[in-house]
Structure 1
């Protein structure tokens, strides 16, 4: 018995530990011709602050998904710049896509990744830095990503796009400068695909551009990163538009949650941000709780659970829910996303739970 224990301990020491990986995402890169006789390419730069070499894998993702990989090693404290990376590493002559850079998480704070996408013309180079985004921080269901368009549509055009880290659905809203919603469109994207909408307002919304337009990319399922670019029509000079995650006030009249058969709201959304003001406390392994999502509307509201566990389900079509978490859920917290449509408005509300 002692020998067995010693051998087991020895093998446990010798077995390799699982290596975790860090993935950084460049949401947009490209090579080839563009509008107004522009010619685009992306330069990718990796800098190693470690005393050890760092190996990384580059993966290019276009509208069809993963479209090629390439390996690179960065020597200790060295910098590697890859010119026209989409052409030189992935063999593409004309393409737009995202680039994932994956490496050992031990170097998560030691390897920096940046990119510059630029237009080469007879009058010089005009470029934009497109920063890498940590895959673990990408927007998930219920997030609203804000993309600001140009202040002058006469002088500039507006391209925007999205990289779906997992299978994702995006509700795109075109917001005019006065706050009105001019157009909406919901599109589903396969995991690992990147889609760019050049002159996006006409391409995606079939709408005319106006000064100070804003696009909202509302993630209704999955994980994604959205981005934009404003390009001067005369010079071809681009300015990168990062997707900013924000929490808008809801356009729905979401009042909160009522317990059981109560006719009054027990836990409100008093600040109208679409998130209950406090978590619902639920006891695991006990009797189920029943509650109702309360939305004040002139037409009946419809409800859809987006990320709920199997024990949480609707018992009627009017927002009534039951939740019966098992003992294994004790100590967990949940932020359940619910898609609600009422009076022609569709939004996602959040119901937080604390399970005891």
Structure 2
């Protein structure tokens, strides 16, 4: 299978993304970043038993002085301050310093929490992303967003902090549960919808093979999604402009996650449903045709993702979206499509939003 290396162009903070099979066992990838260093692997109770030993072996082979491991509980519901403190506890107990390298081994929760811990410990230590879920490989491991959740909103506490590199081992997807695989497909669909209609066509046509975990195809979509995200991030690292389009489906999705309780709906499931809601809103606003909205909905369903929102109540949706990071002085900014393959941020009439939510079944 092919191996790819991409670059996230951020000047003196640029870094590579390595994509391929069996990369956890390739010590040479880690050598420039860990030789002679103390390393802390941050992982969870699911991924740690599967891959931590192999990663530790590669880090030692690459010349790491010593490798410690901190294992966190698994789940979005643990993406919080008390769990984050466990990482700081481990770093302090092992007398780690500013040269210690933190390696985040896991999905998006571990990547976000490990990155945030690295950004804050001694005001910043180097870290490496080793994403093991499809969602983290195509999205959350790239771009430097780190953070934890708050009961009133997802990812409300965090920092922009870029890794030294991203090592994406496609082989780790062999142990990924089907539900998590579908969650990754949500972000892949999103990238096509906002930036590349031909990519969306390819994903739509090959959905059965993606669901069957064709390794070559998975490597291709991870590469293309990372290219799209890296291009956007290089133009707007801190989401002052174009980077906001990467949040298509997320305003509605984050409201679902917070309203239902973190962990009840997986992030990718909420984003998939959020894209369906946003597409219907775009149709009402004349930004998508009925056929385009229906097509995007079908792609989401084909990826085995939920298309109908939970019955949280329209008022509750609106309240939670007002807390979203993309809200501006209390006004909700939505990411809306300009046809399939293009997107921009825009306000939307509350009446249309409420009508969309109600008619899709979100009302009490």
Same fold (TM over 0.5): no
Structure ranking higher in helix proportion: 2
Structure ranking higher in strand proportion: 1
Q: Who wins on radius of gyration, i.e. which is larger?
A: 1
